[in-house]
Amino acid sequence: MTVDKLCARVAELLRTYPPATTDASVFHRAQFDAGLAWVHFPEGLGGLGLARDLQDVVDTELRAVGAPVNPAGHVGIGVGMAAPTILAFGTPEQRSRYLRPLWLGEEVWCQLFSEPGAGSDLAAVATRAVREGGHWVVNGQKVWTSSAHVARFAILLARTDPEVPKHRGLSYFILDMSAPGVEVRPLRQITGEAEFNEVFLTDVRMPDTARLGAVGDGWKVANATLSSERVAIGGDQARRESGMISKVAELWREHPEVRGAAVHDRVMERWVAAEVFRLTGARLRQRLATGAPGFEGAAMKVMFADLAQSISLLELELDPDAALLYDDWALVRPASVDFLSRGPGYRYLRAKGNSIEGGTSEVLRTIVAERVLGLPGEARVDKDVPWKKVPR
Which active-site residues does the annotation give?
229
CA distance 386 to 119: 19
CB-count burial class (<10 Å; 0-12, 13-18, 19+) for 248: buried
